[in-house]
């Protein structure tokens, strides 16, 4: 084996990196367990608020030491292998920024009939189109008013300098596109800030490129109503006057005196108590003390405010000599005023919201936090606390609705600044505010967080202002976007939503782990049973493979989802394929009389091209899944792609290293690749596959036709909410309830809309899917549907019905998912066709392979309809598409291996006809086909039985697909080569026999 040292070093490096990144997950789990122990009451219930308070208290504390480098809990969380919502519980939301309101605002809420009709028409077109709304609006306007000029509508004061009366329609649309994109960016930044302040562990927010949508995942969230309000609320931009430290420090002096007296009284009256350590045994973690005033844990820094303050700050002399220990612990003097350690902000809020504290502070004083932390030289983060001055009505003197424009610019010295313009009404209010605050700060506040507090240099008339400071270009751009958030309303609506309860998450983890372990054990035993010592090597390579998959997922900071576990389970079955190919080749060489060493060398060499081609074709399906899938499907695709790469490396290179080491000893020739039982299995096949191909063609067509007829009689395919839109709920009762009775009870409430009720995983658990108000995506519609559900379940109130999870997919999103699913499947066919043609240099190979793949996909769809006849109802959703693409990858994998053997036989026997080598190639590779399929079926069957209801449809599709893939490879793909190839030769054909004698390039050694 060449480059043995390089492979060994690479293996060690990858293993070390995987171990390093997985260690973060172990430490995080340990901290989570301690937090649960701390928050567990005597009755065994966990107080979630207490647990989160504990985790917040140690977020900035070092909890892990790796080779001298210390990591805080926050850093650990950023690097761990997280769990997806389906395993942890939480909320998944896809928001769409409404371009309609943006266009209306740019048009000054024009009442032009053509304009309004075009907006309405564009909304209709969007339901069945992948184009963005602005393009559809332009198309609709041209249809309604072919000679109309958009500039007549959009040339107004708000768009001055961008759109004029001479602008063409294309130029107007281009400006609208820019503004829509800008609005989406602003919404994204606002939402990201809101979520960061929401206090969710490991939230995930990302823009979905090419759409106006933003995808958000909030693990562990249970209050869906609060989240909806948080995400859909309009941005609130305000300008406030700011108190100087000298103005509010006397009130803090009074507060200090009051708290100091209170603490002294508590010390006299409270008996001494022995403190308990909540983190027993954790050398790297500090014990959180319990604050006697708030009752919440707080990490004891052991330092006063003066010692924890950032460098260059001075202690304010406003608290008096008898300083309250609470104020000293919470508040820190900063260069610009007062602040607090980032981890203490929740406790400061608790203090300032107390009624007795509010009574001491003036009624027109309001405290707001700065949005960006200040980093101190010692690595700690602080937030500045701003004291703003409320007016008589409690409202801000100027709000963002008056801003007409804001943009990043440069001042006379070339430094970044922000220019801002206001309308006439806003300009008057702004002049009064700036005139009264010359030399003082004015706070720019968005959603109650201070983004900037510039000092007013002079009274500003006319509404045009510039905000300068020590900005970077990025900071100036961010501030401009914040200011524009008040100018251009960009309301968001939830177009897709999924809520998973924590109990379902724990159940999913147990089912996923059980499936994985059971599948792994079966494969391990089978490989040893069939390949003896070679099986031991394959199993070691398989364990390396799983370890690498988890480690690489952790390095990518990916979240492990239930479909991701399915991908690992599937990879367990598929990863042995490469070793099976190699070992079968080695056994063939041993049968020809080669020595063990020579057979091993030749086996690896001759199996490489088959392994490479089969992995590339499967990888193509994974890449397409990744780019066109979303949510759990994308997680599955990531796991599948990583699994393909790691299985190739472990099976081809690491197994070779192990075998080389094994045979390097004195007993190297005793290395075996068969047991006494398996030695004669699947040998000497002599079946005429070509003879039965026409019967196979007819049989396949018959089954597919029956399936589609059954589907038509059933009213069409059983589409999930992913593809048809609507809402679904998983409801659990105290005991079993007939699904048909619940459906009848819900029909009246759901206005006889399409509603399906079926048992889901357990006899006392039902899944309710309805199209009631499917076209309505507003929050009010969500409430209406859930209220109707609860009303319909009233007659089962004695059985305590509980909604464990819910999902919503809007009609436009459902159309998009359908379209992208179709594109994904077609692209996979096209990609595989081109790759196979490139590798085998004949279109006949590509045609046979793709026809077989289409056959497999149609078979799965047909069997879904046939299963419904027998009461097995599985939905076609995004996970179903994942299974179809996985089947495509698996099936072409098998086909390519046989194609490779056909190519080899034709290369060694160039004057033979295609029909003379098909049967020998199929019979010689049949053992590999059977063994690989068995290992995949092992894990898929386990997944079907133990994988849980979420993956039941996926595993059923895989069962049908694997069996269909074997069948189509043997009776569809390869026989089509004969039917489409004209390879008549002048040479006489081989004697009539199913298995002709084929020349080889090998010499038999004694």
Find the CATH number of the domain harbouring 643: 1.20.1640.10
457-495 pLDDT tens trace:
888 888 888 888 777 887 787 778 777 765 545 667 777
Does residue 431 register a pLDDT over 80? yes
The per-residue pLDDT for 210 is 65
CA–CA distance, 263 with 871 (Å, rounded to integer): 70
CA–CA distance, 561 with 368 (Å, rounded to integer): 38
CA-CA distances (angstroms) from residue 615 to 217, 227, 552, 646?
Answer: 32, 43, 19, 11
Does residue 9 register a pLDDT over 70? yes
827-854 pLDDT tens trace:
888 888 888 888 888 888 889 989 999 9
Does residue 651 register a pLDDT over 80? yes
176-233 pLDDT tens trace:
888 888 878 877 877 777 776 665 666 778 777 767 788 888 877 767 777 777 777 6
Do 535 and 683 lie in one domain? The reply is yes
The CATH number for 460's domain is 3.30.1360.200
When pLDDT is averaged across residues 633-656 and rounded to a whole number, the result is: 85
Average pLDDT across the chain, whole number: 79
3-state secondary structure 305-369: HHHHCCCCCCCCCCCCCCCCHHHHHHEEEECCEEEEEHHHHHHHHHHHCCHHHHHHCCCCEEEEE
54-72 pLDDT tens trace:
777 777 778 888 777 788 8
Does residue 859 register a pLDDT over 90? yes
pLDDT > 90 fraction of the chain, expressed in percent and rounded: 5
322 within domain boundaries: yes
The per-residue pLDDT for 702 is 95
When pLDDT is averaged across residues 912-933 and rounded to a whole number, the result is: 84
Dihedral angle sign, alpha carbons of residues 941, 945, 946, 952:
positive
Q: How confident is the model at residue 960 (pLDDT cuts 50, 70, 90)?
A: very high
Q: How confident is the model at residue 669 (pLDDT cuts 50, 70, 90)?
A: low
When pLDDT is averaged across residues 494-521 and rounded to a whole number, the result is: 74
The per-residue pLDDT for 790 is 86
CB atoms near residue 525 (< 10 Å) = 13
Does residue 5 register a pLDDT over 60? yes
Does residue 1002 register a pLDDT over 50? no
Residue that the structure tokens 């053992």 belong to: 927
The boundaries of the domain holding residue 25 are 4-80
The per-residue pLDDT for 1000 is 45
Can you tell me whether residue 620 is helix, strand or coil? helix
876 φ/ψ angles, rounded to the nearest 5 degrees: -95, 110
Do 654 and 681 lie in one domain? The reply is yes
Does residue 299 register a pLDDT over 60? no
Strand blocks (E) in 791-923: 802-809
How many CA atoms are closer than 13 Å to the CA of 568, on its beta-carbon side? 26
Q: Which among 189, 193, 197 has a CA at the least distance from the CA of 345?
A: 197
3-state secondary structure 719-788: ECHHHHCEEEEEEECCCCCCHHHHHHHHHCCCCCCCEEEEECCCCCEEEEEECCCCCCCCHHHHHHHHHH
Q: How confident is the model at residue 558 (pLDDT cuts 50, 70, 90)?
A: confident
The per-residue pLDDT for 752 is 67
671 within domain boundaries: no
Q: Which residues have C-beta within 8 Å of that of residue 587, sequence separation ≥ 6? A: 603, 673, 674
Do 249 and 230 lie in one domain? The reply is no
682 φ/ψ angles, rounded to the nearest 5 degrees: 55, 35
Among 458, 488, 518, residue at a domain's last position: 488
Contact 749, 757 (CB under 8 A): no
Do 975 and 879 lie in one domain? The reply is yes
Q: How confident is the model at residue 270 (pLDDT cuts 50, 70, 90)?
A: low
Higher per-residue confidence, 310 vs 109: 109
Do 969 and 856 lie in one domain? The reply is yes
Q: Which residues make beta-bridge pairs with 403?
A: 422
Q: How confident is the model at residue 705 (pLDDT cuts 50, 70, 90)?
A: very high
Among 779, 809, 839, residue at a domain's last position: 809
Among 809, 828, 844, residue at a domain's last position: 809
The DSSP secondary structure of 636-683, one letter per residue, reads HHHHHHHHHHHHHHIIIIIHHHHHHHHHTSTTGGG--S--TTTTTTT-
The pairing of strands 82-83 and 62-66 is: unpaired
When pLDDT is averaged across residues 36-51 and rounded to a whole number, the result is: 78
377 within domain boundaries: yes
Does residue 1003 register a pLDDT over 70? no
CA-CA distances (angstroms) from residue 174 to 112, 165, 178, 208, 539?
Answer: 20, 15, 6, 21, 59
721 within domain boundaries: no
Does residue 320 register a pLDDT over 80? no
Q: How confident is the model at residue 663 (pLDDT cuts 50, 70, 90)?
A: confident
Do 588 and 535 lie in one domain? The reply is yes
Residue 782 tokens, joined:
């969500």
390 within domain boundaries: no
Q: Which residues make beta-bridge pairs with 695?
A: none
609 within domain boundaries: yes
Do 643 and 770 lie in one domain? The reply is no
Q: How confident is the model at residue 289 (pLDDT cuts 50, 70, 90)?
A: very low
148 within domain boundaries: yes
Residue 913, Cα to own-chain centre: how many angstroms? 51
Do 732 and 870 lie in one domain? The reply is no
Q: Which residues have C-beta within 8 Å of that of residue 424, sequence separation ≥ 6? A: 463
996 within domain boundaries: no
Least reliable range by pLDDT among 17-21, 477-481, 828-832, 865-869 = 477-481
928-956 pLDDT tens trace:
888 888 888 888 888 788 877 777 888 89
Do 206 and 321 lie in one domain? The reply is no
Do 50 and 122 lie in one domain? The reply is no
The CATH number for 768's domain is 3.30.70.3400
Q: Which residues have C-beta within 8 Å of that of residue 273, sequence separation ≥ 6? A: none
Q: Which of 45-49, 657-661, 756-760 has the highest mean pLDDT?
A: 657-661
The per-residue pLDDT for 668 is 57
* Structural domain count of the chain: 6
CA–CA distance, 638 with 625 (Å, rounded to integer): 9
Per-residue burial over 774-793, b = 16 or more CB atoms within 10 Å of its CB, e = otherwise: beebebebbeebbebbeebb
When pLDDT is averaged across residues 79-98 and rounded to a whole number, the result is: 77
Q: Which of 99-108, 369-378, 857-866, 892-901 has the highest mean pLDDT?
A: 857-866
Q: Which among 732, 860, 746, 886 has a CA at the least distance from the CA of 802?
A: 732
When pLDDT is averaged across residues 704-724 and rounded to a whole number, the result is: 87
Do 800 and 832 lie in one domain? The reply is no
The per-residue pLDDT for 54 is 79
When pLDDT is averaged across residues 787-795 and rounded to a whole number, the result is: 86
When pLDDT is averaged across residues 116-143 and rounded to a whole number, the result is: 84
Do 425 and 543 lie in one domain? The reply is no
Instruction: Give the alpha-carbon dihedral of 536, 541, 546, 548, to 10 degrees.
Output: 150
Contact 471, 410 (CB under 8 A): no
**Predicted TM-score (pTM) above 0.85:** no
Contact 525, 220 (CB under 8 A): no
The per-residue pLDDT for 759 is 81
């Amino acid at each position: 084996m060449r480059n043995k040292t390089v492979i060994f070093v690479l293996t060690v490096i990858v293993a070390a990196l995987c171990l390093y990144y997985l260690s973060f997950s172990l430490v995080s789990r340990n901290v989570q367990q301690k937090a649960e122990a701390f928050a567990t009451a005597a009755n065994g219930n966990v107080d979630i608020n207490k647990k989160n308070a504990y985790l917040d208290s140690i977020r900035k504390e070092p909890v892990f030491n790796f080779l001298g480098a210390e990591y805080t809990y926050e850093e650990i969380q950023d690097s761990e292998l997280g769990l997806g919502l389906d395993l942890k519980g939480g909320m998944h939301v896809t928001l769409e920024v409404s371009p309609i309101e943006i266009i209306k605002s740019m048009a000054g809420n024009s009442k032009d009939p053509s304009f309004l009709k075009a907006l309405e028409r564009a909304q209709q077109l969007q339901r069945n189109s992948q184009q963005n709304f602005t393009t559809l609006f332009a198309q609709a306007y041209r249809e309604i008013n072919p000679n109309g000029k958009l500039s007549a509508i959009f040339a107004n004061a708000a768009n001055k300098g961008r759109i004029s009366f001479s602008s063409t329609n294309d130029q107007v649309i281009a400006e609208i596109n820019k503004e829509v994109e800008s609005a989406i960016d602003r919404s994204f930044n606002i939402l990201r800030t809101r979520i960061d302040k929401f206090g969710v562990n490991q939230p995930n927010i990302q823009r979905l490129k090419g759409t106006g949508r933003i995808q958000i995942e909030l693990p562990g969230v249970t209050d869906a109503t609060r989240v909806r309000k948080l995400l859909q609320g309009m941005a609130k931009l305000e300008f406030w006057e700011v108190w100087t430290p000298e103005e509010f420090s006397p009130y803090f002096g009074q507060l200090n005196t009051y708290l100091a007296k209170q603490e002294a009284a508590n010390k006299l009256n409270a008996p001494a108590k022995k403190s308990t350590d909540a983190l027993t045994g954790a050398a790297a973690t500090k014990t959180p003390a319990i604050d006697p005033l708030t009752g919440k844990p707080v990490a004891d820094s052991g330092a006063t405010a003066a010692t924890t303050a950032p460098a260059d700050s001075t202690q304010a002399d406003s608290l008096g000599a008898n300083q309250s220990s609470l104020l000293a612990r919470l508040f820190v003097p900063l260069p610009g005023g007062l602040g607090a350690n980032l981890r203490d902000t929740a406790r400061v809020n608790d203090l300032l919201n107390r009624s007795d504290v509010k009574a001491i502070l003036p009624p027109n004083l309001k405290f707001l936090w700065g949005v960006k932390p200040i980093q101190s030289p010692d690595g700690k983060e602080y937030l500045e606390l701003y004291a703003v001055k409320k007016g008589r009505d409690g409202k801000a003197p100027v709000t963002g609705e008056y801003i007409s424009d804001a943009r990043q610019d440069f001042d006379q010295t070339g430094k970044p600044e922000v220019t801002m313009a206001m309308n006439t009404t806003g300009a008057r209010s702004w002049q009064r505010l700036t005139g009264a605050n010359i030399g003082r700060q004015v706070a720019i506040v968005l959603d109650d967080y201070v983004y900037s507090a510039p000092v007013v240099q002079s009274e500003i008339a006319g509404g045009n202002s510039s905000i300068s400071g020590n900005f970077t270009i990025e900071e100036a751009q961010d501030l401009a976007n914040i200011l524009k958030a008040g100018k251009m309303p960009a309301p968001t609506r939830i177009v897709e939503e999924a809520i998973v309860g924590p109990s379902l998450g724990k159940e999913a983890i147990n089912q996923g782990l059980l499936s994985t372990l059971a599948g792994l054990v079966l494969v391990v035993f089978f490989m040893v049973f069939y390949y003896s010592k070679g099986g031991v090597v394959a199993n070691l390579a398989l364990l390396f493979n799983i370890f690498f998959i988890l480690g690489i997922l952790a390095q990518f900071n990916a979240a492990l989802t239930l479909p991701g576990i399915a991908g690992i389970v599937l990879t367990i079955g598929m990863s042995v394929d490469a070793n099976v190919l190699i070992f079968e080749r080695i056994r063939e060489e041993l049968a020809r009389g080669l020595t063990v060493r020579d057979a091993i060398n030749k086996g690896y060499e001759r199996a490489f091209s088959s392994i490479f081609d089969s992995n590339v074709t499967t990888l193509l399906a994974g890449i397409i899944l990744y780019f066109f899938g979303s949510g759990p499907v994308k997680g599955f695709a990531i796991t599948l792609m990583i699994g393909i790469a790691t299985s190739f490396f472990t099976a081809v290179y690491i197994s070779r290293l192990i075998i080389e080491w094994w045979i390097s000893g004195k007993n190297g020739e005793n290395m075996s690749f068969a047991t006494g039982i398996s030695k004669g299995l699947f040998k000497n096949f002599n079946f005429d596959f070509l003879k039965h191909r026409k019967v196979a063609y007819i049989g396949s067509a018959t089954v597919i036709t029956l399936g589609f007829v059954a589907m038509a009689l059933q009213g069409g395919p059983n589409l999930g909410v992913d593809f048809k839109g609507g809402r679904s709920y998983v409801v659990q009762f105290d005991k079993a309830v007939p699904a048909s009775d619940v459906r009848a009870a819900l029909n009246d409430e759901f206005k006889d809309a399409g509603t399906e009720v079926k048992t889901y995983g357990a006899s006392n658990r039902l899944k309710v899917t309805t199209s009631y108000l499917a076209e309505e995506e507003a929050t009010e519609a969500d409430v209406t549907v859930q209220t109707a559900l609860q009303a319909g379940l009233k007659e089962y109130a004695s059985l305590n019905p509980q909604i464990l999870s819910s999902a919503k997919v809007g009609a436009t999103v459902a159309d998009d998912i359908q379209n992208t699913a179709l594109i994904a499947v077609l692209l996979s066919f096209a990609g595989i066709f081109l790759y196979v043609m490139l590798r085998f240099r004949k279109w006949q190979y590509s045609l046979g392979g793709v026809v077989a793949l289409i056959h497999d996909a149609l078979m799965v769809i047909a069997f879904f309809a046939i299963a419904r006849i027998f009461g097995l109802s599985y939905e076609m959703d995004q996970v179903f598409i994942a299974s179809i693409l996985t089947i495509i990858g698996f099936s072409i994998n098998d086909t390519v291996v046989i194609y490779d053997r056909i190519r080899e036989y034709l290369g060694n026997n160039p004057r033979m006809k295609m029909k003379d080598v098909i049967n020998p190639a199929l019979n010689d590779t049949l053992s590999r086909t059977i063994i690989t399929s068995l290992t995949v079926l092992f894990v898929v069957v386990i997944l079907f039985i133990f994988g849980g209801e979420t993956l039941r449809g996926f595993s059923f599709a895989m069962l049908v697909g694997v069996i269909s893939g074997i069948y189509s490879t043997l009776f569809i793909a390869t026989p089509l080569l004969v039917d489409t190839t004209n390879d008549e030769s002048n040479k006489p054909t081989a004697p009539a026999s199913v298995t002709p004698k084929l020349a080889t390039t090998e010499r038999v050694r004694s």
